[in-house]
């Protein structure tokens, strides 16, 4: 599929408010959707032949164009050490200095008819960097999409906001040691 004239099409009704879908403009969705689809061509998947592309929409841009980062899955002959497209994109983002709060949306694209959400490991990984309200747009091989929030994909999630401050944990641990002595 060529994305030079890519126009995202929702496969189910989406909640649009002020022309935005989960806070993402049509232009931004077109860009990250097209990039996720294009990123599939960069996938290294000689074993599964299952191509996945991902694109991250950053909150801050220094230009008039939305800032994005893309990734593709990278497999290995030892299957468990392969890396999913979403984690490749987020790893790149972290190396570039982005962190929790930097991301506005995520797009993921595959070559299958159905919509493929991030795997369980990726969901937990994404949760480290995304708020529960962040939209994840999932594109099928036809370029149609469905969208779910991080909270919908990983309900009752464990994220950095759940952890007590390090100082509190340290104080509690020291208190436990003192009681045991």
DSSP string spanning 99-131? Answer: -TT-EEEEEEEESSSS--PPPHHHHHHHHTTS-
Distance from the first to the final alpha carbon of the chain: 67
Question: What DSSP element (H or E) covers 39?
Answer: helix 26-39
Query: If you search the block for the tokens 């990123």, which residue do you land on?
Result: 39
C-alpha span between 107 and 81 (Å, rounded):
23
CA atoms within 13 A on the CB side of 157: 24
C-alpha span between 55 and 31 (Å, rounded):
9
Determine whether 152 is an active site residue: no
Task: Catalytic residue, from 16, 28, 70, 86: name it.
Answer: 86
| CA-based radius of gyration for the chain | 18
Question: What DSSP element (H or E) covers 151?
Answer: helix 150-153
Residues forming the active site = 86
């Amino acid at each position: 599929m060529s994305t030079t004239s890519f126009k995202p099409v929702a496969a189910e009704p989406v909640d649009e408010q002020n022309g935005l879908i989960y806070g993402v403009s049509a232009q931004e969705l077109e860009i990250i959707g097209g990039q996720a689809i294009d990123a599939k061509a960069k996938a290294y998947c000689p074993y599964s032949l299952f191509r996945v592309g991902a694109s991250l929409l950053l909150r801050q841009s220094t230009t008039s164009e939305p800032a994005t980062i893309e990734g593709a899955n990278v497999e290995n002959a030892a299957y468990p050490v392969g890396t999913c497209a979403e984690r490749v994109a987020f790893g790149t983002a972290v190396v570039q200095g982005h962190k929790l709060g930097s991301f506005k949306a995520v797009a993921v694209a595959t070559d299958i008819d159905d919509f493929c959400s991030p795997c369980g490991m990726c969901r937990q990984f994404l949760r480290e960097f995304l708020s529960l309200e962040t939209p994840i747009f999932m594109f099928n091989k036809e370029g149609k999409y469905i969208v779910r929030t991080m909270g919908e994909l990983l309900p009752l999630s464990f994220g950095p906001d759940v952890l007590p401050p390090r100082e509190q944990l340290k104080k509690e641990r020291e208190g436990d040691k003192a009681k045991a002595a």
